[in-house]
Structure 1
Amino acid sequence: MKNLYLPITVDHIARVEGKGGVEIVIGDDGVKEVKLNIIEGPRFFEAITVGKKLEEALAIYPRICSFCSAAHKLTALEAAEKAIGFTPREEIQALREVLYIGDMIESHALHLYLLVLPDYLGYSSPLKMVDEYKNEIKTALTLKNVGTWIMDVLGSRAIHQENAILGGFGKLPGKETFEKMKEELKKILPLTEQTFELFAKLEQYKEVEGEITHLAVKPRNDVYGIYGDYIKASDGNEFPSEEYKEHIKEFVVEHSFAKHSHYRGKPFMVGAISRVVNNHKLLYGKAKELYESYRDLLRATNPFANNLAQALELVYFTERAIDLIDDALAKWPIKARDEVEIRDGFGVSTTEAPRGILVYALKVENGRVSYADIITPTAFNLAMMEEHVRMMAEKHYNDNPERLKLLAEMVVRAYDPCISCSVHVVKLL
């Protein structure tokens, strides 16, 4: 039969944050159309902070997402401090990085073990894995709990952190708490290495192999990390964070409440694999050893390598947090906060959230936010993600529809999307 168009639809992609679906339209001679339908309603988290006092806005931004609230808080905080012309002391920046790493550990552990691993083991839910894979679930929760505890201690709560404030922290825990934090991180280091070895064994589907342009923040101080003032692309280009709109273009697509993004007119990728591709020379310690041994699996050409890159980062950021705490203990006692003067200005911060580049641009006038623009990793990734779902569909459109649905969802889950974060509207019309 000619011109028969058969839609294969996943109304709700399971085991991702937020509401999104996949629609694959198949004709008699192949795939006709692929859409990632982002059905999460428009969110006005930028617009609702315009006109609010800067401190009030900074309390709102981490509530954008419970998965990566520390990332939102700390990126917004840096953008605000840049806007008012304030630079925190090095030790404050280091302890904020430890707080951010808590978010990274928690998020990567949950994604890898509870969202990705069930697909490879043949389960629809991590809850169904408990009887046969108790050790893996225990590892996931142990890693997650350490990350959560770090955020609770330094951020005052596990989500929607309030303790990171303009000028530093509201308060800092005692020296003995940091010593305990260091010991807890040392305890989980073997678990992070086991995690990497486990995920190195999982298949990276060749159906989606192809050239990918990767963007990542260029880390400060020549150390693989989270903060930076430039964005670096795998094509060799780099540009100041303040110029993000000149190089990355957001645009509306009909089938999504979230915009898509292009770099130099094409889709691109951000995330753990993008960080590894662009910044692997800055790795050190056990993570560097693992990278050198498994670099063929940490490929720039396959989105499934993002899972292994997250596992590598679990090793790296655990080691990095230990080193940062050691440095802080050597400088003890540390003053929690310096006084700041809120002046008019404009600031842009680009950091590496668990899922990739997070951009905050804030303008401050008369102590209030007069402009805000926030672009999240998933908003950057959606166009590339949709292209990879298409590539998978083109190889498997003749398969059992349930098999195709699973493979399409696995592609999406490899990106670790945070769909709720991706839907943003700067202006209320």
Structure 2
Amino acid sequence: MTLLLIILVSLLMLGVPVSFALIISSVAYLIQHDISLFIAIQRMTMSIGDSFTLISVPFFILAGVIMNTGGITEKIFNFADKLVGHITGGLGHANILASIIFSGMSGTAIADAGGLGAIELKAMKDAGYDEDFSLAITGASSIIGPIIPPSVPAVLYAVLAGASVGKLFIAGIVPGIIMGLIMAVFVYFKSKNEDYPIHNRAPLKEMFASFKESFWALLTPVIIIGGLLGGIFTPTEAAIIAVAYSLVLGFCYNNVTIERIPELLKETASHTVSVMLIVAGASIFGWILTIEQVPQLITNFFLTNISSQIAAILLINLLLLIVGTFMETIAAITILTPILVPLATTFGFDLTHFGIIMILNLMIGLLTPPLGMVLYVLSSVSKVPFEKIVKASAPYVIVLGLTLLLFTFVPQIVLFLPNLLSM
């Protein structure tokens, strides 16, 4: 086990991709213990091929790619601007609202930051907002994406934890909206202090025209979330419907053509392979942790040394926050879920509640160095140095940390809606 960890940490420090680091260290363990390498192949292929739910992942990724190239994101932002642009902090609020709407379509923070974020940053720059403020709120609002359904991290957590994907999806709606409201309050007071520009209230006629133009795009989250709430289709079916609907919109808006489809599929395949390779590598790594009884050892350590549920969840939150700063979200979920879920269950935490807490912890990691994937995406889009974006985002990390504590210690915020719907 020691050799496994030494090789894994060494490879990660050398900058080897997480998926390959997991596979190489796991194979080294198998060789050391004279275990057939066929086990590695078997575990890796089974982790991907035997899960119907995982089929939704490439479809949700494809839906996000289509929406970012099909003119859908721009229409969403324009409508959000007309709706809330007159409030103090104008485009900051539009930024948050657009992210909440887009969350109901894409399911990944990177898709939000890379696609919608580019539109938001340009609009805020043209309107006279400080670059730091624009980048920080764009990054912070993008992490709402994996909280509100659909959510790729939620799918992976549910598969690994044996939780209900549908229940986890519905559980993210209220927390996602609350995150948006808390950010909006912060934006309001900061904008008032900095005297940022605001728009005049859009006339009802202009607001209606924007709504009419974006209506079919706005209908996307209604179809996806409404279908899940009504039990009309499963999360996997919702992903396929999202792709079909976004393609239709792309064709109607004349931003997607038959000739562009191979390009969209290529981009989707690139993202999907990256995710699935991490899942495959983490599956064999997780199997080794299981036969070494690491989950049981950690659980026993907690039970022996910690008697308080509050202390236990605070330590778990701290662990997840630390891991999220240097490990990619998908890798962290696939590695830590089999370890932490038994521990959370032992201390009496609901699997759905714990799933939202785990995902939010790791999402905050997307805004913190050294990894900070959302920060790197924003740096690439805006050409602003990474270090400057880190500094600008720090206040939002604190706000999100306090929001995390709220969701942790008031579980009914997360469980209210799924319990109401008896999911």
Tell me whether the two structures share a fold, i.e. TM-score over 0.5.
no
TM-score computed with the length of structure 2 as normaliser: 0.28
- TM-score, structure 1 as length reference: 0.28
Structure with greater strand percent: 1
